[in-house]
Amino acid sequence: MSENAKVIRSQLHWVTPPDIGQPLEELEWVFIDVYDDGSAQIRPEPPSDREAAEFLAAVSSHQSSQLG
């Protein structure tokens, strides 16, 4: 990653894949920042509760649309 690289996208990922039926709230999450030079890096700090809640809401919404 170059010194002047800027974050173009952040992705929230779980550290280990969930077990079937495991509540999403129990999973461990990390952010991966993708930079404009093509590199990526895991953020050293965990996602905030707000960021995790937004991601969980998006996942739940996506799962509902897949079922309906």
Q: Which is higher by pLDDT, 67 or 53?
A: 53
User: Does the residue 1 lie in any domain?
Assistant: no
User: Does the residue 45 lie in any domain?
Assistant: yes
- d(CA 62, CA 40) in angstroms, rounded, equals 25
Quick one: pLDDT at residue 67? 52
* Nearest Cα to Cα of residue 23 among 52, 65, 51, 66: 52
- Asked whether 43 and 55 are in contact (CB, 8 A), the reply is no
Quick one: pLDDT at residue 1? 67
**What average pLDDT does this structure show over 7-12?**
85
- d(CA 48, CA 65) in angstroms, rounded, equals 26
**Total number of domains in the chain:** 1
pLDDT in tens, 15-49: 777 788 877 777 777 889 999 999 999 988 777 77
Quick one: pLDDT at residue 44? 80
User: Does the residue 54 lie in any domain?
Assistant: yes
pTM above 0.75, yes or no: no
- Domain limits at 57? 7-67
